[in-house]
Structures are given as structure tokens and as C-alpha cells.
Chain A
Amino acid sequence: MEVSHICKIISNYSIATDMYLMAIANKYIATVGRPGQFIHIKIPHDDSLLLRRPISINSVNKDDGIVYIVYQVVGTGTKILSQLKEGDNLDILGPLGNGFSIPKGVENIVIVGGGCGIAPLKYIVDYWKDISYTTFLGYRDMDSIYQLMNFERASERLYLTTDDGSQGEKGVITKVLEREIDSISPQLIMACGPIPMLKEVQSIANGRNITCQISLEERMGCGIGACMVCSCMIRTKGGLEYKKVCSDGPVFLSDEVILDENAQFSC
């Protein structure tokens, strides 16, 4: 039987503008958690905040039983999270959701990430090591960059953009992706980021018949597929249908998901 875990925080500090890296002691999640899965965190110290916050796994250390998450401070709940200290307790559920997967024989993969959506992608390159990754990362500016070195080490090639051009190329990462994609001819694209970015990635992938897995974010309730609040529109054989981001996703195929900028809040 699964339970919610009361875990000790090992460390928690800022790694970029409004971005924090938290290390949590939990052997179970460190062992069974897969890339793209998330943990569902109860915000401590404020009983008026009822909903848990779904945060993707950024990486794990299996040997020491440590789960890493990277999260952005966007509101009261994540502000409280950012103030937690080493030794504090955290109530988490997980690992939840269906993550990324690499079909057999696939070894040429493109990774596309934007902003806080870059965080879950790091677990991909940590988890599947014998893969040739070409990585496209878009950050807001120089101060928003985090974990770039990890991706550089793991990738054959890495393309970097910032909105203001303070590091890497200036502009959005999907423009660079569009320019380079045909010379790479990847077997698979894996992406996470704001909805406008995902829409571009979707269009690039679908237009070239490249399989593309994208990880979505949505306001969630239970996180275990019961309350039906975190819906996203999916194209199925029977027509359009709302699926559950928490338990059917959060990773979906780009040719099945209908991305709606009004419906979803991006990270």
C-alpha cells in the first residue's frame, strides 16, 4: 500500500531567478521514480492552502535515496516551499503520473525545454545515458539559467537562447529548433515548457512526422486520477476527449494533444 511520505528536506536553495533546487530524502521515490513523473507536495505552515503542488522530479540519487526537484516561486505556496530549511519535514505523494519513455531502437533524440520546463528534462539525460541527445534550451535571461552544464555534458550538441540575448542566441528556442531539426533528423522529440513553446514544437514535430512526447502542466487536485480537474483535450479514435493530466499524463504525444493557451497556465 502506498502512503503519503513525510520526508526530510536535505537542502533547498536558489539556483536562478525565482528558481529553487530542493533535495528530499526518500528512498522509495528515488528508486522507482521515472523521468516525467511528479511528486505532489503539501504546503506546510499554512492550512488555508489546501491543494498540493505537483512538481516534476528533476533527478534522483538512488544510492543515497535522494529526490531532487526544481521549482519556480510563483505564488504563496511555492514561496513557503522556498523558505523551508534543511531538516524540515515535507508531506509528499509520489511518484505520480506517466512519464517519458524511449521506445526500443531509438537513440537519436532531441530535447526541447523552456524556462521551468527544463527541470523535468534533466532527469531524462540522467536516466537514459546511452543516447545521443541534441538539446535546445530557452531561458528568459542570463540570470534565469540553471543546470545548463548538466545538459552540456549529456548532449552531443546544445543550442541555447535567451529572450534578451544576454547569453546564447537571442530569441525563442523554437526558431533555432526549426532551423536545425532537418539536419538532425531525430527519431524522437521530448519537450517541456510554456504552452506557446509547446505549440511550436508540436507543429514542427507533427509537420515532419517525428514522434514527440510533451509534458504538460495543469492546475491539479488529487493527483491520482479521481477528481477530474486537471483535464486536457486529447484526440482519440472516438473523437475529442478530456483526459487527466495527472494520471493519463502528464506526458502526452504531440499528435494527440490539443494545446490551448487559455486553458492552461504555463510555467
Chain B
Amino acid sequence: MKMPNLAVDICGVKFKNPIIAASGTFGFGREFANYMDINLIGGVTVTGITLEPRSGNPPPRIAETASGILNSVGLQNPGVDYFLEAELPKLLKYDTNIIVNINGTTIDEYCKLAEKLSKYPIDLIELNISCPNVKEGGLAFGAHPDTVYEVTKAVKESSKHPLVVKLTPNTSDIRETAKAAAEAGCDGLSLINTLIGMAIDIDRRRPVLANITGGLSGPAIKPVALRMVWEVKDVVDIPIIGMGGVMKGTDVVEFLLAGATGIGVGTANLVKPTTCIDILDELISYMIKNGVEDIDKLIGALEII
């Protein structure tokens, strides 16, 4: 059988395959260059960027929980200007799509970031209104449909690039925030960000994380993520980048069937730096074995009697 077609269109941008390294787990890409050929994956989402450099939260910032990881990095990053000068040129050398995850504490900051990025040849902006580890911004925007609408509309007007809104699962009904983002004019959605959780050290009677709570990721949240992708795809007409606990090729197939067009790989990058490529190989094997000639045939193909 010939090589199946893996290319997908997300917000008018062609991806050679749906595998996208998720924000916060792939650095600026170069950290992984010794381990895998970055040219082979559909896209790289860089670590969350803010207008000014951010030092992040105190350590410990990570805790292992059953089939999951709690993190409370708190958006440590060198700021957008450093990113554009020092990191973006290195990333642009690779033949892969670049998604920049932007974070602000005010709508104005988000807009300024989008304006700055509009002058550079990146492919997508991911509006992060779902970081659970910062006191201002993040979830303050992402948890309610009205604030999601407001920030999305303003950033969309400031951005020349297609805009993907990254949604939080920490809300009463993700369909409402998804609809609000779509009505505000965004081009796509990515979901889910991490679930707020905590871990406790019983010997010290203290939280494991210095930040007390953190964002839960990994296989532990995959069922939640799948359900949310499946729910959201019925209420919006824009593409979805699905993510949450993708560890292997069959996980990708599950997210595609649930309705995602792109697939974010996050926590798995921490487990094994070659994961994105391994997953891609497994996806291709699945398609060949099951006679799927075009990945399009899998997207949203879940059958419910």
C-alpha cells in the first residue's frame, strides 16, 4: 500500500501531518533537535510567551501523580522580544509550522503580543487564556464565555495570523467558552489545557508543589480531553487541535475520531524526547494496517449508534 496522506488544513494553514508539539513541553524546539528531526512533524508550539520576561513560580514545580504530571511552571519565559530576536530565527530554519502561544494579564497585553507577532513569519497564534498557574490573566479570561469573547475579539483584530484559542477544561461547560471564542471570530480552537489539581506530601503535611496547585496533564486526563473535543466539535465550525495525554499513535486516532484535526503532543515529550516521531510512525502504521488512505477519513469519523 502506498504512503497514506497525512496532510491536514488547520485554519487555512497546511500541516504535513497532524502531529504538533504542545506548548510548554517542547521549549523552543532546539532542545529536541539532538533527539529527533523536527522537520518531520506538522508543527511546533513554542513555550508560552509574554510581553515582558517572566521568572515563573518557585520550585518544586513538578509532581508525579498516577499516570499524570502536575506542573506549576508559571509561564517562565524570556519575553517576546528575546523570543523574536534569539529563538525564532533558529526555529524558522526547520520545515515545520510554528505556533506561538501568547499570554497576558490584560487584553491590551494580548493584543500587543499579537501585533508584534504579526510582523514575523509564524503560522498560527495560540491565545492562551487557560494557564492555571498564574494569578492574573490566564484562567481569569478563559473560564467565562463573556471574557473569552471579549479577549478573542480584540486579539483577532490585532492579529494578521490565524488565531487559535486554547480552552481550559476548568469551566462548567466548555461548549459555552468554545462557542464564545468562535463567535468572536477565532479561526480554530485548541483543547484542553491542564486540569487544576494538587498533590500532598503526607510526611511533611504540605503540598508537593510550592504553588500549592498545578495543572494536571498526561494519560490521566485523556478521557476528559476526548470527551471535550467530541462535545465541542458539534457546536463550532472551526478546526480543533485536540490534546491531553497523547502518548502513542492510537491516542492520535482516538482524538481524530472524536473530531480533532490537529493533535497536540505534550507530556509525552518529557517522558521520551523522540515521542512525536514515534507517534507519527505508529499513526502511519495504523493507517496502513487499516487501509486508511487519507487522514481526512478519520477526522470526526466516530460512529455512534
Residues of chain A touching chain B, judged by Cβ–Cβ distance below 8 Å, are 1-4, 42, 47-52, 77, 91, 93, 218-222, 224-232, 240-242, 247, 260, 262-265
Contacts and interface: CB of A to CB of B under 8 A. Distances in A.
Nearest to A224: B31
Given A219-B59, A224-B34, 4 more contacts: A3-B274, A4-B273, A227-B24, A228-B61
Contacts of A263: 58-60, 210
B66 A48 contact: yes
Interface in B25-74: 25-27, 31-32, 34-37, 47, 55-56, 58-64, 66-69, 71, 73
Closest 5 CB pairs of A and B: A226-B27, A229-B62, A226-B31, A229-B61, A221-B270
B65 to A, nearest CB: 9
Determine the main DSSP class of A at the interface with B. loop
B73 A229 contact: yes
B269 interface: yes
A128 B271 CA distance: 33
B56 A51 contact: no
26 contacts: A1-B35, A3-B274, A4-B35, A4-B274, A42-B271, A47-B67, A49-B64, A50-B64, A50-B267, A50-B271, A51-B270, A51-B271, A52-B270, A219-B62, A221-B62, A224-B31, A224-B32, A227-B25, A227-B270, A228-B24, A228-B76, A230-B61, A231-B58, A242-B56, A247-B31, A263-B60
Nearest to A93: B273
Interface hub of B59, B63, B67 (most chain A Cβ within 10 A): B59
A242 B26 contact: no
Contacts of B242: none
Given A1-B35, A222-B273, A242 B76 contact: yes
Nearest to B33: A1
Contact of A226 (B26, B66, B68, B267): B26
A231 B64 contact: no
Interface residues of B, number: 37
Contacts, number: 117
A231 B59 contact: yes
A220 B31 contact: no
B142 interface: no
A3 B218 CA distance: 22
B272 interface: yes
A218 B60 contact: yes
Contacts of B270: 50-52, 221-222, 226-227
Nearest to B67: A48
B46 to A, nearest CB: 10
A195 to B, nearest CB: 12
A101 to B, nearest CB: 21
